Amino acid sequence: MPCRHHDIQVFDGLRCCLACGETVFDIVKDAKPELPRSQNAPYEYAHLNYALGPEIRLCVLFPGRLSDQVVVDLVHVYIRDHPPYEALSYAWATQNGDDSLSQTVHCHGGSITVTKTCEAALRRLRLPGRNRYLWVDALCIDQSNVKERNHQVGIMGTIYANASQVIIYLGPGTRATDRMLNYLNGDESDSDKRIVIYSVLNNFLDHRWFDRVWVLQEIALAKLAIMVVGTKTTHWNSEAINKVLNLCRGREPPSALRWLPASQPECDFLSVLHKSRNCTSTDPRDKVYAVLGLANADFQNGFPIDYSLTTEEVYTQIATHLFYVEGDLRILKYASGQGEDAWKLRGMSSWIPQWDVKSGYDPLPLQFHADDLNHLMSTWSRKSPQHHAQTIDSLNWLLDTFLRDLPEEQQPLSSNAWLQSFDMWLDYTKRNRSSIGNDSMPDLESISLSLTQIKSLNFHSVIVKGDTRVHSWEVADAVVPSPKSPCLRVRAHLLDTISRIFGFRSYSSLPHSLNNLPHILERRRLCGPCSKHFVATSICQHTPTIHHTMSEEFHRDMKRVLGDGKTMFETERSVGVAQAQVRVSDEIFALDGADVPFILRRVGKHYVLLGECFLYKALRDALCTCCGCKLEEWPIVTQIIDIW
């Protein structure tokens, strides 16, 4: 078997293989086109060898006329040897959506079926008198080999970063694309031709390439990028991209314009996923895998690509991975507004973002600052439940017996699980319930909150997988049903409850008069001294404009957060804005580690996530509307809840 040059070293500028002693001047210098012996003989891929490093295939594109059959050869090389090649970036489907493998490329006595766009790109890129070395995913990866796909997709960022240039192929040209490329090349001036260029912009950006999720890392990691459309070419660089962006006023630019060639990869993978959310991919798993090359190396190494997993499993794994890597609950923001049907139909947890659901999600401004988060994460509710304080001392012996019956090793329980467990334990040991008597029976909710605090004092959040049953009398609803659908168990602080839904969906529709909004501003709350001599025209205010200041603050906040697609609602204590479809009685929580409040809906013994919200004056003290002094703190009930 001939040597495949596995051990190449450079001596005096020459690349030599230490295994056989041969000087390696080119990859396949003497390779000749070879048509298949049988038109139906499929090309048989040789296995890639990863023992000595990341090995890839390169496509040797042989010269030919436009009408000639496309003939290639595939050769194996190691990336660390820095072989010279170009990488192709294109959309598999044609403009009318045809992504069928209907065309044939001849390769070393066999044939490989590809899409019409891929075959057209190879015809267009052939050089007249010499071979061209390309990396083309449809040819260089054995698409039928799942294990190979996992490996090659995992190093695609490296493949595009090491290419001498990336060739963007949009397809056959039109008069509109010719005009656009002339504009990008400077052949038409900005001032004289701008009106005409606007008319061809949509035709240009409607090419499927701009909507394809794979192109993001292909361009961001490219050293150089050349765009080819029909017979026209242009340098796809910052100057060209900025020209297109300047024409996109009034139109949302596609995600492909968010990254410049040779730009640094994003360290924040959540931002990458969000920026690419409205891109398209044939395989929904690629909404994650296609942009993984833009994450840092540690993140990529911790999240291997695996096409044997289902879409639901991939989305669950990336959410879990991000939860532990980020160390906070920021992942929950990106599950906002994806709708109930999306997670119900898939049997997924509501807190897991579904990245293939296109969304116009617009993040709300941060509402909880460092001091608020530290306060929430370091303290429990300072107010004991009403009946608990009177009865807890007399029930110490009962609680001791209950806790002694629990196993030593267990997950931190939710407050509802404590309530259900204690109640069922009382039924299980009927003599204990009868010995107390109904009159002296404590409020079980008070007991559950106290047990939560005692047993999980330093708990914040955890992802619970599989069966979390801790004893035989625990109710089934408190157990996560499947490892594929983990629940998020988190310490949560109940802030408010939605009591009314308004129809305002933009700031312009918000009445300037607050008379029709019975929110916190209209509730005159006075301190003791002010209430004794308050009149319609305040004469005792230390700050004469306190009420007007609050009104101005309200309008300023609503102008900042209320926009298209968002809904305004009233709560028991305030008003808020959300993008999700909310209902009366939905609850608003502050979650440990989250800098915005979230709206949750109780379903049985657990909650489902609807999305983030803005709650006016959340966690802020209630003030006297006359003198501005502090009346009371924002009431909070702290518990541990399960979000499915």
pLDDT tens digits for range 369-382: 878 877 777 666 45
49-84: b or e for each residue (b if 16 or more CB lie within 10 Å)? eeeeebbbbbbbbbebeeeeebbbbbbbbbbebebe
Q: What is the pLDDT of residue 386?
A: 42
For residue 530, the 8-state DSSP code is: H
Q: What is the pLDDT of residue 483?
A: 41
d(CA 318, CA 269): 10
Q: What is the pLDDT of residue 391?
A: 43
Q: What is the pLDDT of residue 301?
A: 86
Give the amino acid at 618.
A
Q: Which residues of the chain have pLDDT under 50?
A: 1-2, 11, 25-30, 381, 383-392, 467-483, 512-515, 518, 536, 538-539, 541-544
Which residues, 6+ apart, have CB-to-CB distance to 533 below 8 Å? 540
Q: What is the pLDDT of residue 404?
A: 65
d(CA 345, CA 639): 29
Beta strand spans in 270-405 (E) = none
Q: What is the pLDDT of residue 384?
A: 45
Per residue in 144-167, pLDDT tens? Answer: 999 999 999 989 999 999 999 999
